[in-house]
Amino acid sequence: MPKLAANILIVDDDLDILVSARIFLKQHFQKVSICQDPKELHALVTGEETDIIMLDMNYRKGTNDGKEGLYWLRFLRETDPSLVVVLMTAFGDVELAVESLKAGATDFILKPWNNEKLLATLSAAWQLRTTGKKLQRAERVQETLQKDLLRESSDFVPGRSPSMQGLLNTLRKAAPTDANILILGENGTGKQVIAKELHRLSERPNAPFIHVDLGALHANLFESELFGHAKGAFTDAREEKAGRFELAEGGTLFLDEIGNLPTHLQSKLLHALQNRTINRVGENRQRNVNIRLICATNMPLAKMVQEGTFREDLLFRINTVELDLPPLRERTEDIPALFQHFLELSNNKYRKHLRLHKDATEALMRYPWPGNIRELQHVMERAVIMAEGEDIRESDLHLSSRRTDPAIAASAPTDLLSMEQQLIKAALEKHKGNISKAATDLGLTRAALYRRMEKYGL
């Protein structure tokens, strides 16, 4: 059996006990250190990483009340709360054991010990230590991700156009509340950016922001992904798993592409939102969830309600406040600030110092931006990569190859579903059926594009 990668420190005034314990434990653990004087503890635990400390309860001859051990236990807990401390004594005292556990000890063993019992106790203590380390790492990762999210949200470009000013006024009023928000808008208008800005301005900015793309979520995985599952709930459920609702606990749950949710799954989502409770797949226990809900879609939900493809009660549930993001062609006043923003981001990313030439600026203002902000970002990043010299010229933008044929534009449908269908067709034709390239052009994942192709029979 391989050694456990634990560093163990044994503290006892009896050298014979120290030596015998060290000889036995070195067979099972990576490193075993010994210490006769607890006054050396501070230097030992701060000088190198220690996972488990076996701490004797008594050090002065003739004392057996355990007060010294409790003192040093409290000292260790104050020095490093993550330390796992196992107390040991030659006197079996139940009250002393209870007091030591209350003070933060992990376990309590009696001397002389049974080697198998000692090994089992320390192995369990090591499992506790590794679990604690994993939790600390997860918390650090979450903290880093949250800081990145807030930093990303702080780069939000608000816009000066009247339509955006009105939307931002509503956003600022709604953000500090727990009202359910529905964000509407064409592909690429920045719905996810708005959702993150809502989270940043909410009363939950330091809690998780969990993004779920319902358009890319397979129907068979819907319940497991959103609500979690118990171990053994289905063939591949080898361990229990928390769903997105639980992961968003205390924070914001952002359900993107909610218009793509099949009708038979809408009732399950509605039940969870109404009751703020979920059941993991394969278990009967109800779990309370505390989340702030934000949804987004590019589809006409009101029309879908009339057609019977979207539940009216679900629509009422998710749109306490509605934010309708205008397309970029309707907010041309905001274009200069946006392309300057993306120019700076791309310059920083690729360590360049490019500027926009006047002819490039004029071309950017003339272009209709059918792909909205996402297309503008893509154009700017590509231009920074490909440009030669210190200026980005109109020729570096390659906008002429992206223009829609005027005849097609003139006959373009006005309802969003037909527009989406036509855009998908155009992207597939442009890339000769290459799904990956078409999805990238449309700002979708491959899975989301496949779902739409199936929906429109393409």
Distance of alpha carbon 335 from its chain centroid, rounded?
Answer: 30
Predicted pLDDT at 147: 54
C-alpha distance from residue 33 to each of 132, 274, 387 (Å): 22, 57, 62
Q: Is 283 exposed, middle or buried (0-12, 13-18, 19+ CB in 10 A)?
A: middle
Q: Provide the H-helix boundaries in 53-204.
A: 67-79, 94-102, 115-154, 162-174, 191-200
Predicted pLDDT at 266: 93
Query: Residue holding tokens 């044994």?
Result: 10
Predicted pLDDT at 416: 57
- pLDDT under 70 in the chain at which residues? 1, 61-64, 90-95, 97-98, 133-155, 400-418
Where along the chain do its domains lie? 4-134, 155-324, 328-403, 404-458
Beta pairing partners, 52: 8, 84
Cβ atoms 347, 354 nearer than 8 A: yes
Alpha-carbon radius of gyration of the chain: 31
Predicted pLDDT at 142: 62
Q: Provide the H-helix boundaries in 201-326.
A: 222-227, 244-247, 263-275, 301-307, 312-318
Predicted pLDDT at 92: 58
Predicted pLDDT at 407: 38
Q: What are the backbone angles phi and psi of residue 239, rounded to the nearest 5°?
A: -150, 160
The span from the CA of 450 to the CA of 213, in Å, is 14
Q: Candidates 3.10.20.600, 1.10.1040.10, 3.20.20.110, 3.40.50.300; correct CATH number of 155-324?
A: 3.40.50.300
- The tokens describing 233, both together, are 């709930």
The model's pTM is 0.61
Q: Candidates 3.40.50.720, 3.10.20.440, 3.30.56.10, 3.40.50.2300; correct CATH number of 4-134?
A: 3.40.50.2300
CATH 1.10.10.1150 fits 328-403, yes or no: no
Dihedral angle over CA of 159, 160, 166, 167, nearest 10: 0
Do 155-324 and 4-134 fall under one CATH topology? yes
Q: What are the backbone angles phi and psi of residue 449, rounded to the nearest 5°?
A: -65, -40
Which is it for the CA torsion 441, 412, 261, 273, positive or negative?
Answer: positive
Dihedral angle over CA of 89, 90, 94, 96, nearest 10: -40
Domain 404-458 superfamily per CATH:
Homeodomain-like (1.10.10.60)
User: Which pLDDT tens digit goes with each residue over 210-246?
Assistant: 999 988 887 788 888 899 888 888 877 778 888 899 9
